[in-house]
Structure 1
């Protein structure tokens, strides 16, 4: 066999091997492409199904953010009352319930000398920061408590709440804490006293210190 013949046969074998590898590579790529398309189709179906679900606007409420806002006022009111107990030499474990009279002045219910109670009430009336924090708390805390409870029941048992549905707007821009508090307060004012008592609620807000739930 001449050298030229051997080279020609070697070249032919190399070309065939190259073509075979190219064909195998093309087949592999084709199969991979089919798998990708199949996977994409499956993912697309999943997105379509999930995207088709409708969620109530209440599921998008920022409850944790609401709790943080309420928590700041709650801490301020609590610290102010504790300082008052220390200022007048009272037992730091003294139980106090602070509410507002019809006149807007503060009323304290606690076991302490009458003169001391009246003086603390006067101090709180003259404390602008305390009045503002208590005012926000008296509206926001019941609202957040109601919303949080309603959402927990919905998540746990699938129970919807018609009052919550009335409070929440489809436009999330109008679902801030103040928006919800205003609507909730309006609904409570429109509700009769009997209905509020049946729901375990009271129109008059009271802040309690050193009391056990």
Structure 2
């Protein structure tokens, strides 16, 4: 074969190789476009990892909606009216019997239902003061209401404070509160609380609550 023929043959092969190169590149690009994009792995603790998903439970969820909806402020205002009346009546009596305003007075109901007085005063004054209070209808009504409303309110207030501070729920409070807020008036709660105490009177915790109510004026802790 002549030198010229060899050069022509080599040139032809080179041209064929150059013509085939764009076709190969186009084929590779098509495969790249049709190939699905791989999803990057999620870092540990991402929302897709259930092991690190917070439960969403808070302290407030330990208290049911019905107990958190109690009108505790209104209950306190109602009880405060009777407290003020009883307190002012006793202070008036101390002044009437020329006793020091800071004299300790303890008022309670005896087994016969009569008002009893105890405190740092002569027995004669105690008897006269007790007689006056027993004849005071307004005082008797206010004191009778306090004997049931104040312990109930104190229990509810403490139970809610413990729940807010430590997340400690109280099954007794939950059971005495109605789902319907219309039936959660103070007197409704007082009645349920009293019934629950009676049904559980043998338990040590409830036995402490069953003690006779007493009102203390000017008492020192």
TM-score > 0.5, shorter chain as reference:
yes
1:66 matched to 2:66: no
- The offset of 1:211, in angstroms, is 1.1
- 1:78–1:209: 8 Å Cα contact kept in structure 2? yes
The Cα RMSD (Å) is: 1.9
Alpha-carbon distance in 2 for matches of 1:171, 1:197: 26
Whose helix fraction is larger, Structure 1's or Structure 2's? Answer: 1
Alpha-carbon distance in 1 for matches of 2:206, 2:192: 19
Partner of 1:13: none
Give TM-score scaled by structure 2 length: 0.68
Seen in structure 2, the aligned counterparts of structure 1 residues 163 and 80 have a Cα distance that, compared at 3 Å, is same
Aligned residues, how many?
A: 161
SS at match of 1:169: coil
- 1:188–1:203: 8 Å Cα contact kept in structure 2? no
Give TM-score scaled by structure 1 length: 0.71
Partner of 2:213: 205
Deviations 1:120-179 (A, max 9, x none): 100000000000000111100011111011111111211110110111000111100000
Alpha-carbon distance in 2 for matches of 1:194, 1:58: 24
1:169 matched to 2:152: no
| Deviation >3 Å, runs of 4+ | none
- The offset of 1:119, in angstroms, is 0.6
1:126 matched to 2:135: yes
Counterpart mapping for 1:50-199 below 5 A? 55-192=64-201, 195-196=204-205
Seen in structure 2, the aligned counterparts of structure 1 residues 167 and 55 have a Cα distance that, compared at 3 Å, is closer
Unpaired runs of at least 5, structure 1: 1-48
Unpaired runs of at least 5, structure 2: 1-55
Alpha-carbon distance in 2 for matches of 1:93, 1:193: 39
